[in-house]
């Protein structure tokens, strides 16, 4: 994944801030869920996360959250609180303390998806 993030940074698709924070997030997630290293789900999460961070730091965040029914289901996931804390820890690696709810909804959807894939709940 390092090379994918590097390619995106060199192409100007993500900022240096997003690139460096993405590497930190990758390291953090690899420590917690080593079995997910190299997975498509982790790669997708990191790319989406870096793009979201760039939107937030450029003051152009998404304004429409994920579908309300899906967002409600995400918030009812048993591991939601732990995943929310993990998301906060990841964001701190980018120097961000909070994000608008629309961005948060997609970040949490990706983390929940990765958590489900880790548990084998996704094929």
Task: Please report the pLDDT score of residue 45 as a whole number.
Answer: 94
Mean per-residue pLDDT of the chain: 93
| CB environment 28-53: b (16+ within 10 A), e (fewer) | ebeeebeebeeeebbbebbbebbbbb
| For residue 77, pLDDT beyond 80 | yes
Is the model's pLDDT at 57 over the cut of 70? yes
Q: How many CB atoms lie within 10 A of CB 25?
A: 26
* Measured distance CA(68)–CA(115) in Å, rounded: 20
pLDDT score of 90: 97
Per-residue model confidence (pLDDT) at position 123: 41
- 56 torsion bin: left (phi>0), alpha (psi -120 to 50), beta (else): alpha
**Residue 103 neighbours by CB distance under 10 Å:** 23
* Residue 33 banded pLDDT, cuts 50, 70, 90: very high
């Amino acid at each position: 994944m390092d090379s994918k993030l590097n390619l995106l940074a060199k192409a100007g698709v993500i900022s240096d801030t997003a690139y460096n924070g993405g590497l930190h997030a990758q390291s953090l997630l690899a420590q917690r869920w080593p079995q997910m290293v190299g997975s498509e789900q982790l790669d997708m999460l990191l790319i989406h996360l870096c793009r979201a961070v760039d939107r937030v730091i450029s003051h152009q965040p998404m304004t429409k959250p994920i579908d309300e029914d899906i967002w409600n289901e995400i918030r009812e996931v048993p591991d939601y609180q732990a995943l929310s804390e993990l998301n906060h820890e990841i964001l701190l690696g980018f120097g961000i303390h909070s994000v608008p709810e629309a961005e948060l909804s997609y970040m949490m959807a990706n983390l929940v998806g990765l958590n489900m894939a880790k548990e084998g709940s996704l094929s």
